[in-house]
Amino acid sequence: MLITKLKDKDAIAPLAGNNAFVIICEGCKEVYFPEEEAAQLCDELAAKGSMTSEYICNPDNLAFQLGKHTDKLNSADTVLVFSCGVGVQTVSASFPDKKVFAACDTYALPGDQGVTPLEYDCDQCGECHLNNTGGICPITACSKSLVNGQCGGSKDGKCEVDKDMECGWERIYRRLEKMEMLDTLMYPVKIRNFAADAAE
């Protein structure tokens, strides 16, 4: 099982800006999601538009739901996602040229995790880095779970640990470059907070 918790409002508001589309995932049955808090924050942000769905981690379902909001999505500068890390990564992959931000952190709880229908993964580390890395998780996309950039061991875009795996940090760099967000790589050095792995 897992639990999603809203990030601080002061951290979310600047990401949303004045022209954001909000996606709220009500989650799987084994996921706790703060529905009331998310709805309230969505109202306060005065978003360009919003949609609520279940299982946005399923690309087919997500594409169907997004199709109902094409005009508002196209005119939005950013997409703000209230879900676990898998949902954020699925939305990010759907918008290669748009800024996608996570509004929640994800914490692991004991119990059945359910089945995710795609390759994206969330380590449920409680300290989501997706907003600094273009919606690609450095914990799961990098064999070494590095949060401050690549190790330097990759060759021809492939990971030195797994030759069949694309270097996660090269993917992150290309994504940030496309979104003109390379300045986020200059954020202060991150020390991974392993204490956040456990839900409060």
Q: Are 3 and 107 in contact (CB under 8 A)?
A: yes
pTM of the model: 0.85
Q: Are 24 and 42 in contact (CB under 8 A)?
A: yes
Q: Where are the domains of the chain?
A: 2-128+189-197
Q: What is the pLDDT of residues 70-84, one digit of tens each?
A: 999 999 989 999 988
Q: What is the pLDDT of residues 1-11, one digit of tens each?
A: 678 888 888 88
Q: What is the pLDDT of residues 140-159, one digit of tens each?
A: 999 999 988 899 898 999 99
CA–CA dist 186, 147 (Å, integer): 12
Percent of the chain with pLDDT strictly greater than 70 = 88
CA angle 190, 196, 200 (to 5 degrees): 150
Q: Which of 94, 95, 87 is nearest to 114 (CA)?
A: 87
The CATH code belonging to domain 2-128+189-197 is 3.40.50
Q: Are 79 and 20 in contact (CB under 8 A)?
A: yes
Band (29; pLDDT cuts 50, 70, 90): low
Query: Which residues, in sequence order, are CB contacts of 181 under 8 Å at separation 6+?
Result: 99, 134
Q: Which of 153, 5, 20 is nearest to 95 (CA)?
A: 20
